[in-house]
Structure 1
Amino acid sequence: MGTMPDGRDKRPWLPPRWVVRLAWHVHRGLYRVTGGRVGLWRPKGNRYGTLRLTTTGRRTGAARSVILGYVQDGPRMVTLAMNGWAEGEPSWWLNLQAHPEARVELAGGSGPVTAHAAEGPERERLWAWWRQIDKNLDAYAALRSTETAVVVLEPLPGRAVP
Structure 2
Amino acid sequence: MIKGAFQWLAGTEWFMRAGPRMVPKVERLIDKMSGGKPVGGDRSLVLMTTGARSGEPRRTRLACVREPDGSLLVVGSNFGAERHPAWTANLLARPEAAVSFQGREIPVSARLLTGDERAAVWPGLVAGSPFYERYTARSGRELRVFRLIPEQ
How many angstroms apart in 2 are the aligned matches of 1:64 and 1:135? 27
- Higher gyration radius (CA): 1
Which residues of 2 match residues 10-159 of structure 1 at below 5 A? 13-16=12-15, 17-36=17-36, 39-43=38-42, 49-74=43-68, 75-156=70-151, 158=152
Contact residue 77 and residue 132 of structure 2 kept, 8 A: no
Counterparts of 2:121 and 2:147 in 1: how far apart (Å)?
A: 9
- TM-score when normalising by structure 2: 0.82
* Shift of residue 110, structure 1, vs aligned partner: 1.3
Q: Which structure 2 segments of 5+ residues have no match?
A: 1-10
CA RMSD in angstroms, aligned pairs only: 1.8
Q: Equivalent pairs: percent with the same residue?
A: 30
Answer 1 or 2: which has greater helix percent: 2
Which TM-score applies when normalising by structure 1? Answer: 0.78
Deviation at 1:125, TM superposition (A): 1.9
Q: Which runs of 5+ in 1 are unaligned?
A: 1-11, 44-48
Mark the CA change 1:143 to 1:123 in structure 2 (over 3 Å): closer, same or farther.
Answer: same
